[in-house]
Homo-oligomer: A and B are copies of this chain.
Amino acid sequence: MRQVETGREAPGPDEVEQAARDLRPHLTPTPLQLSRAFSDEAGCRVHLKMESFQPIRAFKVRGALNKVMHIPEPQRPAGVITASAGNHGLGVAYAAAAFGVKATVYVPETANAFKVDAIRRYGANVVPAGRSYSGAFDEAVRAQEQSGATFVHAYDDARVIAGQGTIGLELLADLPDVSTVLVPIGGGGLISGIAMYVKERRPGVRVVGVEPVGANAMRRSLDAGEIVTLERVDTIADGLAASAPGRLTFELCRRYVDEVVLVQDDQMLRAIRLAFEWEHVLAEPAGAAALAALLYHRHAVAGEKVAVVMSGANVTDEVMLRALQTR
């Protein structure tokens, strides 16, 4: 993939606190809800951070709003550009609509029609390009260079990371004595923001990342001490199917993340079903990854106060039907 200039150093906790203040008029904090059923099952106190209740049903709206609202006035008329067939595209389209900025979203030609429709509904210009995410990404970067629009990277951007970090701030406010936070990892923007903030402000809290077995780029990169790019990714969690961490997100995860655990597709499907049956909330595979890690690594958190980031609910009919039939 082509490089894109994100133009900033990694953000710190002050940037997260600033982002929280900036987001307040635009976004209601999400609830952190005690789950008695998952607590009984896992043998610890389980609190679910409901990012799936966000207006776009995913945390991505935080980072996208924090990025778009800080585009300098002279650059706004040129609009924003991004590449995504998923929740980041929705987040950018939502943020652009909120601030009256023109958005162009490059999507792979194979993108899910429901998601493309949802992105269009926010008024974004959707451009199918390439057969995969990296094809769409390359086209988006090329278009950005020609148009002067602001590129909004899905994870490797200081403003985006600071926006996602506001989840960490809300967690510490709602559950000051949390002991472990479980967070899914795709490109790493979500966990980078949360881990950096939580560790800077409360170093005793453990932050554990969760990757699919078939998309374990962050785990392998951390093990290797340098960015590793996977030749192929294979996971039901399209939201976590990144082939490599970003430069900023790798740097932040290396510094702040305690551990990365792996989950399998069928474990995420079972977590989707149990989230539905026990808590009556929707989760997409990425959104259920941290819950799957809780269920299948419960020995590691016995007796603790655990926060599980339920990162998104944008699940397809097909996956939901599979999950409901998974025993």
Q: Interface of A with B (CB < 8 Å)?
A: 28, 31, 33-34, 36-37, 40, 50, 52-53, 55, 57, 114, 117-118, 121-122, 276-282, 313-315, 317, 320-321, 324
In the docked arrangement, what's the CA distance between A50 and B57, Å? 13
Q: Across the interface, do A55 and B33 meet the contact criterion of CB distance under 8 Å?
A: yes
Given A55-B33, A118-B37 in contact, is the A317-B324 Cβ separation under 8 Å? yes
Q: Across the interface, do A53 and B50 meet the contact criterion of CB distance under 8 Å?
A: yes
What are 18 A-B pairs at a CB distance below 8 A? A28-B31, A31-B55, A36-B122, A37-B118, A50-B53, A52-B280, A53-B53, A114-B277, A114-B278, A118-B278, A276-B282, A276-B317, A276-B320, A280-B282, A280-B313, A280-B315, A282-B282, A317-B324
In the docked arrangement, what's the CA distance between A37 and B114, Å? 11
In the docked arrangement, what's the CA distance between A57 and B36, Å? 14
**Contact partner of A280 among B278, B314, B321, CB < 8 A?**
B314
CB distance from A27 to the nearest CB of B (A): 10
Contact residues in B for A315 (Cβ distance below 8 Å): 280
In the docked arrangement, what's the CA distance between A279 and B117, Å? 12
In the docked arrangement, what's the CA distance between A37 and B34, Å? 31
CB distance from A314 to the nearest CB of B (A): 5
Contact residues in B for A279 (Cβ distance below 8 Å): 57
CB distance from A289 to the nearest CB of B (A): 17
CB distance from A28 to the nearest CB of B (A): 6
In the docked arrangement, what's the CA distance between A241 and B116, Å? 39
Given A53-B50, A320-B276 in contact, is the A37-B281 Cβ separation under 8 Å? no
Closest 8 CB pairs of A and B: A36-B121, A57-B280, A280-B313, A53-B53, A280-B314, A33-B55, A282-B282, A317-B324
CB distance from A278 to the nearest CB of B (A): 8
Contact residues in B for A314 (Cβ distance below 8 Å): 280
Given A31-B28, A36-B121 in contact, is the A317-B277 Cβ separation under 8 Å? yes
Contact residues in B for A313 (Cβ distance below 8 Å): 280-281
Contact residues in B for A55 (Cβ distance below 8 Å): 31, 33-34
